[in-house]
A and B are shown apart, each in its own frame.
Chain A
């Protein structure tokens, strides 16, 4: 079946530094990738939708200059948390949707646990 790989699974960084998280679709081309954030014991919050070759669409309240998303190819999207602060500590999950599909089931990466000290 379709697989989405997310890296790294865990990262600890110091306040003020930037962290890049990668999301790859391994056996299909992903025209659309989604980035979610999950706070402890809460549901997933959609942060942004990225389409290959175009600018990401951010949800209301998500700072586009802080959470930089790049979807340079059909198999890779990256989320960069810039100038990270402790309140950015969270679980970030990406998901991907294949080409030529409409409302196909989304496949998720295993998530990245970000801890900002």
Chain B
């Protein structure tokens, strides 16, 4: 009964390729996020969607494009992968309660290695 799941768990690919990471949550939450954790373990938010609407878009190269087909899914597509994209990508979800966002629950992460 995984709450927030991500696929794949590991992704090894060549520079220049295009790849996607999928995220699904079964918590009934209406807000989902993508975070990037770099080699120094620094976690930084990339995107957030609420009810399929983009609400947070940090300074991220436009090679990264999130897509939310419905409230339970937020996928991350990356074009023209670069060495610097190697990181762990975490998906998270939360619900909005009276205008405030509650605790974020994280997925297990996708470890991306670009060669």
B partners with A: no
